[in-house]
Amino acid sequence: MWVMEPTDVTPLDCGPAGVGRQVVVDAEPHEIFALLVNPHRHHELDGSGTVQPEVIGPRDLEQGDRFRVSMKMFGVPYAMTNTVTRLERDRLIEWRLPAGHRWRWELEPLDQGRTRVTEVYDESGSTLPPLLRLIRAKDRNTVGIEKSLRRLRKRFARP
C-alpha cells in the first residue's frame, strides 16, 4: 500500500543559491541540538542516503571544529572534512564543506515543548558552481532536506 508523506514541510525562499525547509518537531531545542551537534549521528537523520556512519571528529562540536564524514553518491564512496562556522548552543549549527557551500540547522522554541526546525543548504560560497549544477545539487538536496526533516519529526513524534 502506498502512503503519502505528510505535507507540512514548509519551503523557504533562500534565493537562487539556496534551499531551505521548515518543520515543527515535538521536542525541545536541546533534544534536537544534541543530535545535530554530534556528527557521529548525522547518518541517523540523513534523507539523502549519502551520509555514512563513519566519522572522524568530536562528538560535541564547537565553532571552528572540523569533522570528516564518509559519504557515498552515485555508488562512489568519498569523504568530506567540514568546518563548523557558526554555533549557538540549542539554537543554530552551520558547517562549511570543502568547496565552500554550507549546511545550516536553526532551532526555534515553540510552545508545548515543540521546536520549529529549519534546514538550509547554501551554495552561494561554493568554488564549484558548475559541478553543483551538473550533479543537480539543489534539486537533490531539496529532496534530501525534506526527507531529513520528516525523519527528525518522526523520531520525536509523541504517541
Show the 3-state SS of 13-24: CCCCCEEEEEEE
Residue 130: pLDDT band with limits 50, 70, 90: confident
28-56 mean pLDDT: 97
User: Would residue 2 count as lying in a domain?
Assistant: no
| Domain count of the fold of the chain | 1
Residue 24 has pLDDT above 70, yes or no: yes
Dist CA 134 CA 118 (whole Å): 26
Q: What is the pTM of this model?
A: 0.92
> What pLDDT is recorded for position 159?
83
The three state secondary structure string of 29-73 is HHHHHHHHCCHHHHHHCCCCCCEEEEEECCCCCCCCCEEEEEEEE
Which CATH number belongs to the domain containing residue 131 in this structure?
3.30.530.20
User: Would residue 99 count as lying in a domain?
Assistant: yes
User: Would residue 135 count as lying in a domain?
Assistant: yes
> What pLDDT is recorded for position 4?
38
> What pLDDT is recorded for position 67?
98
Residue 113: pLDDT band with limits 50, 70, 90: very high
Give the CA distances from residue 11 to residues 86, 96, 154, in Å, rounded to whole numbers and listed in that order: 23, 22, 18
> What pLDDT is recorded for position 6?
46
Residue 133 has pLDDT above 50, yes or no: yes
Residue 2: pLDDT band with limits 50, 70, 90: very low
| Mean pLDDT of all residues belonging to the chain | 93
Q: What percent of the chain has pLDDT over 70?
A: 96
Dist CA 154 CA 132 (whole Å): 30
User: Would residue 82 count as lying in a domain?
Assistant: yes
Domain that holds residue 91: 10-155
User: Would residue 4 count as lying in a domain?
Assistant: no
Residue 134 has pLDDT above 80, yes or no: yes
